[in-house]
Amino acid sequence: MIVLLLTFAAAAPAPAKATARWSLRYQPARIVNGSPVLFQVTIPKQVRSLSGKWREHEIVFSFDASRKIWYGLAGASLETKPGIYPLELSAQTASGKSLTYRRGIRVQRQRYPKITLTVAGRYTAPDPEQLKVIERDKQVKADAFKALTADREWRGPFQAPVRARISDVFGVQRVFNGIVQSTHQGLDFRVPSGTPVSAVNGGTILLARLLYFEGNCVVIDHGQGLLTLYLHLSELRVKEGDRVNKGQEIGLSGGTGRATGPHLHLAARWQGIYLNPATLLSLKVPQH
């Protein structure tokens, strides 16, 4: 009996190895309404492509071969309500096999302050001629925002366009001349007029012209739906269609358009929604 038991034990199969799993990390650790998000994914098998979808937005992933990590940029709009939103990932192996992964991502609520400002009356109660200019500008921006670069042109971390203190933050509800006019969808840097302004990352100049509210304005298309906007410039140093590198001078700061004084307004727009530029500048993006 003992011999039989020992023989049976020797024939038993070895325990199966634990199955490799997907690994997902993201920045920032606390995602709020208005926050850009950098997803970083490690896949147990070698794949040739990875795509994703989160909050009805398509995410394009790039591969960092040195770290064997896929990363993609996304974001939650200011209007996003607190909750858990599923991230759906789909990968393709070299043989054409599909791999999928799904995980809920929590978005928390961020309360933003309200401030009161005084500006020239033409910016809160424009006359008929000024309204025509405003409508023309809206169409110019709408047309430009339709023609976006599909390929990624940004590389590595995003850098601040100027070295200066922040004078106004993202998400502030702005009351102009006693009337609630807008939500501040960018980041203001306290710089004197004439300060050189540089591109936060590589891309193509989508707009470089004078607009009614924005003043002298530069918009850079970084690819994959990501734009950065630089408002109230005193001078433009680029033209539409130019390719620019990270850190390249694109203009000089000023106080043109609807501004209470000289400063630089930086905005970040991803797939039609505005995101907090301060968070974008803090992301630890791979150099690839």
Q: What are phi and psi of 249, to 5 degrees?
A: -70, 130
Which is higher by pLDDT, 160 or 127? 160
Question: What pLDDT is attached to residue 5?
Answer: 36
Q: How many CA atoms lie within 13 A of 142 on its CB side?
A: 6
Query: Helix, strand, or coil here: 11?
Result: helix
Within 10 angstroms of residue 49's Cβ, the number of other Cβ atoms is 13
Query: Which residues have C-beta within 8 Å of that of residue 140, sequence separation ≥ 6?
Result: 207, 209, 211
CA 147/CA 121 separation, integer angstroms: 34
Instruction: Please report which confidence band the pLDDT of residue 131 belongs to, taking 50, 70 and 90 as the band edges.
Output: confident
- Is 263 annotated in the active site? yes
CA 5/CA 49 separation, integer angstroms: 51
Instruction: Please report which confidence band the pLDDT of residue 178 belongs to, taking 50, 70 and 90 as the band edges.
Output: low
- Expressed in angstroms, the distance from the first to the final Cα of the chain is 65
The pLDDT tens digits of the residues spanning 93-112 come to 988 899 999 999 999 999 88
Beta bridge partners of 168: 188
Which is higher by pLDDT, 35 or 287? 35
Instruction: Please report which confidence band the pLDDT of residue 91 belongs to, taking 50, 70 and 90 as the band edges.
Output: very high
Catalytically annotated residue among 222, 232, 263, 265? 263
Query: Helix, strand, or coil here: 135?
Result: helix
Specify the amino acid at residue 211: L
Q: How many helices (H) and strands (E) does the chain have?
A: 3, 21
Question: What pLDDT is attached to residue 1?
Answer: 39
Examine the pLDDT at 285 and tell me if it is beyond 80: yes
Instruction: Please report which confidence band the pLDDT of residue 157 belongs to, taking 50, 70 and 90 as the band edges.
Output: very high
Instruction: Name all domains of the chain by residue range, CATH numbers in brackets.
Output: 23-107 (2.60.40.10), 114-282 (2.70.70.10)
Question: What pLDDT is attached to residue 194?
Answer: 97
Q: Are 187 and 165 in contact (CB under 8 A)?
A: no
Q: Work out whether the CA dihedral 28, 29, 35, 39 comes out positive or negative.
A: positive
Question: What pLDDT is attached to residue 6?
Answer: 34
Instruction: Please report which confidence band the pLDDT of residue 118 belongs to, taking 50, 70 and 90 as the band edges.
Output: low
Question: What pLDDT is attached to residue 23?
Answer: 95
Q: How many CA atoms lie within 13 A of 195 on its CB side?
A: 21
Among 59-63, 137-141, 152-156, 241-245, the range scoring the smallest mean pLDDT is 137-141
Average pLDDT over residues 151-156: 94
